Structure 1
């Protein structure tokens, strides 16, 4: 039997109507200060907890924002934390659906639709423009972290080419001429960063060197081993994401190659990994709070204000210089 205290129990304990209890617990005006004190005291004594789901249904709106994220991506975790803050201020709750080794993007999105989320915030999705358009026909969609072409969805993204530019300019300014790039593998975000490297290295008049990578530390370790096995080790490496960079540094460390004494390393995302004292990774910062704020505002403006015009915000990332980069090694 469910013995959870109900609104009527609080009203009975406080000696007021259920309507007054409801107003007090929602923070609405009307009840006197004395009534508020009695209601809050009674609720505390009984351990009353409001039924959020019932409350949302009663208002005929869910006020739920669905968020798709990769559970293995530390930058996504930071975005989600900021999204929670912004959603709470806007009066919305957040439902998370994650990508894992055995759970693909389609299934994760279907879960959010099953929860009847009013809008979806997709963090770095790989879905095609056509798939995004089909999804947008069902519910407002905000894509965070990548360009969406002509898809009729809102987009909040960093100018990834500018981020890679900043990394290369930093390394070239230190005197590096042999700068390799560890690729982020399949996916729209990795493709933009790869193109950004090619453009920047060509503009600098240097020779491009792209090493196969991926999205994980293990992929970074494999890339590091490939570089170590090459005829000539580059003096600097830019990785498509921080996890790759950490794996790369691990491979160098185990081989006795000093970072940054022998090889400088730059990551991308400026995640919590980059800020750890023993890693101290120079990395491109995308401003997670600003991305989250703009993403939530985009969703809420469609839901609460009826906006229909497509919105896109492009933010310029900046490089955070730490201890993993230095002037090139000279024998």
Structure 2
């Protein structure tokens, strides 16, 4: 009985042991160097050897020890990404960043900003994981703070203008994007166009300026109406209720982003105000929610795929090509017209 128990114990211990590179090499009958080349995707071994190594690794449950390979190479080949966990647009950006990074032999480390976890904490986590460069999605930190961070690791700011021009930036022209919405609404015959603001910060400032500039360009100064808001659905709902309670509904509402616009649309619909027959609604970002048929939201695309590719390219240029001069890439946003806007109501 004791022999049986000890036999089971030995078997259990062996089955719990993590497979090593040497185990894969022994299974195939090749050197550990050949196995390493195959698993890293480096040229050299024949196609037959590659197939056998990959099959053996899968059969054994072998996984690459990233920590060990990092220590051996002294490079992590990791790009740290700061992301707002509540932003659908950031989620889409991350998906494209993964694809772009993998194509050039890098991987991502994600650190999230939440209501209880600030950007400083999130960024320190990225540095602790030895991220070679930092891709920060719409960071709110002051420009001088970001410049100081850039001295620790190359910083690429995505989605936000940096006035001083001392950092790598990839963004769209936010003021132009909001201007495109206003231009289109005016072209449909709208005059009473309200704007739900995005609160503090450079991005909100640029989009608010785009609204005011476009309204003035069309001679609609007296119709400029900016309501308090932020990036959430709740703020859009509050703004819409304020408009309803005022008894002076505009014919169109432009919101800071898609989440805010969805809040506006939801509150109007709940109050019996038909969208777009009575009030047209537009957002900004072209995130995944805006494309749902239940919202069918007119919005502005920031080109998530293009921003991701430029951001990764900027990081690689800083890390592998020793580029030192900062560079700003400003993409032209694109109006995406869907079913949430129409010609203004009569009267």
Distance in structure 2 (CA, Å) of the matches to 1:315 and 1:38: 46
Name the structure 1 match of 2:193.
179
Question: Which runs of 5 or more structure 1 residues have no equivalent in the other structure?
Answer: none
Partner-residue secondary structure (3-state), 2:82: strand
Contact 1:129–1:151 (Cα < 8 Å) also in 2 = no
| 1:291 aligned onto 2:307 | yes
CA distance in 1, matches of 2:332, 2:52: 52
Task: For residue 29 of structure 1, report the CA deviation from its aligned partner.
Answer: 3.0
Does residue 106 of structure 1 match 2:116?
A: no
Q: Classify 1:171/1:37 alpha carbon distance in 2 versus 1 (closer, same or farther; 3 Å).
A: closer
CA distance in 1, matches of 2:96, 2:43: 30
Partner of 1:144: 158
Please state how far the C-alpha of 1:130 moved relative to its aligned partner: 1.1
- Runs of 5+ consecutive residues of structure 2 not aligned to the other structure: 1-12
SS of the residue corresponding to residue 33 of structure 2 reads helix
Deviating more after overlay: 40-49 vs 91-100: 40-49
What does residue 280 of structure 1 align with?
296
Tell me, in whole angstroms, the C-alpha distance in 1 between the residues paired with 2:225 and 2:54: 65
Aligned Cα RMSD in Å?
A: 1.3
User: How far apart are residue 151 of structure 1 and its match?
Assistant: 4.7
In structure 2, the residue matched to 1:189 is 203
TM-score (norm 1): 0.97
Equivalent residue, structure 2, for 1:323: 339
Say yes or no: does 1:250 pair with 2:266.
yes
TM-score, normalization by structure 2: 0.93
Say whether the 8 Å CA contact 1:237–1:264 is kept in structure 2. Answer: yes
Mean Cα deviation higher: 47-56 or 214-223: 47-56
Choose the corresponding residue for 1:157, options 142, 163, 171.
171
Q: How far off its partner does 1:52 sit?
A: 2.1
> Judging changes above 3 Å, is the alpha-carbon distance between structure 1 residues 271 and 32 closer, same or farther for their aligned structure 2 residues?
closer
Distance in 1 (alpha carbons) for counterparts of 2:68 and 2:212 = 54
CA deviations 1:244-275 (Å, max 9, x no partner) are 00000111011100000000001000111110
**In the alignment, does 2:138 pair up with 1:115?**
no
Select 2:283's aligned residue among 267, 278, 303: 267
Indicate the residue corresponding to 2:228 in structure 1: 212
Conserved? CA contact 1:260–1:323, under 8 Å: yes
SS in 2 for 1:54: helix
Q: Is the 8 A contact 2:165 2:328 kept in 1?
A: no
1:34 offset after TM fit, Å? 4.1
